Homo-oligomer: A and B are copies of this chain.
Amino acid sequence: MTRFSRRTLLTGGVGLAGLGVGAAAVGVGQELSEPATAPSTLPFFGDHQSGIVTPMQAHANFIGLDLIDAADHTALQGMLRLWTQDAANLTQGEPGFSDTEPELAGAPARLSIAVGFGPGAFASQVLAAKKPAWCAPLPAFGIDRLQERWGQTDVVVAVACDDPMTLAHAVRMVVAPVRRRMRVRWMQQGFHHRRNLFGQVDGTVQPSDDRHDDLVWDDGAEQAWMADGTSLVLRRIAMNMDTWEALDRRGRELSVGRSLDTGAPLTGTTETDEAVFSATKGGIPVIPESAHIARAHQRSDREQFLRRPYSYDLAPPGVDGDTSDSGLIFAAYQRDPLAQYLPVQQRLADHDALNEWTTPIGSAVYAMLPGARPGSYLGAPLFE
């Protein structure tokens, strides 16, 4: 695969859209981490798909789709060409190819549309040998209460945007044109905030930007076509608001290992302070060994991955006295989920104080395609 300068493409992407296509300042509340000066368009073409290491947008919709005929690789190829064409336009503020509501396309608001393959997408004869070894459901964890309705699908499309109407329109343009080829199994809609619905500051510890090349992006060593792609682990984690709120504040801070107000580890004073797990007070660890951050903390350099959690808050189902249907759409990106994500998740599954109030109800793994090269389409290296 020919490499090309990322800088050139980024500039090219903005150039395509024309500067100032969307004024679309962002800022949805003071606690969001995005700068108010964020540009309104993200590049579509490039080494990598946008929406993965991009600063998080305010809203996201993960669409899980199943192929109607998984053996038909040409249908898959057709969908990829079609999505590429539409995403290249929509992300730059232009209508999609068969767009019947072009007026909804004008405010891209940092729209990104990223495509990934689950194991089922490699079912055709042509693609069978192209499946990365890690592209399979995660092993079962004792804490899981997985529901098929939130389970593994053949394909995922991760759409994210700062404007919910632009997002809805883009989702429509992803789903409608492929309706004869794919069925939507689920949509997971969420919003981004630096805190989750438990009030906890979330997503503090992340790989530094200069580690994306070795921790996030695939190098093509196992599957050449995957170079510049990555893996997505998508977990739907229900959060039980009722029982969480019955716990006192100190108990809640100990279960996480961070103070609720500043998000600082219990051994520090500001959010970005490194936690000191060896610190004790009166012989007792300041951060309990069972605290979420103690269990989640990396025990080797490889145990790092990029987390992009979105909160969801839906109407309660209206049965059994439940007063909420809330939780987290936990999206983790890493080169190798088995080496990077799995050991951490296994520790959390074995013992994590937070498990008492959280329940994984969905789980899926996807190979997120490399970026599309101008003039080509997403996933083209798969068919070469």
Contact = CB atoms under 8 A, between A and B. Distances in A.
Contacts of A245: 100-101, 176
A107 B31 contact: yes
Given A101-B198, A197-B168, A316-B184, A27 B25 contact: yes
Contact of A199 (B103, B189, B199, B311): B103
A175 interface: yes
The count of identical subunits is 2
Counting chain A residues whose Cβ lies within 8 A of the other chain, the interface size class is 35 or more
A270 to B, nearest CB: 15
Contact of A29 (B163, B171, B179, B197): B163
A1 B21 CA distance: 53
A171 B23 CA distance: 31
Contact of A241 (B30, B176, B191, B197): B176
A261 interface: yes
A315 interface: yes
A199 to B, nearest CB: 3
Interface in A163-186: 163-166, 168-169, 171-172, 175-176, 179, 183-186
A40 B29 CA distance: 9
Interface in A199-257: 199, 241-242, 244-245, 249, 252
19 contacts: A28-B163, A29-B162, A31-B165, A100-B249, A101-B198, A102-B199, A103-B260, A104-B195, A104-B199, A164-B313, A168-B191, A168-B197, A168-B326, A172-B326, A175-B323, A175-B324, A176-B323, A184-B316, A187-B315
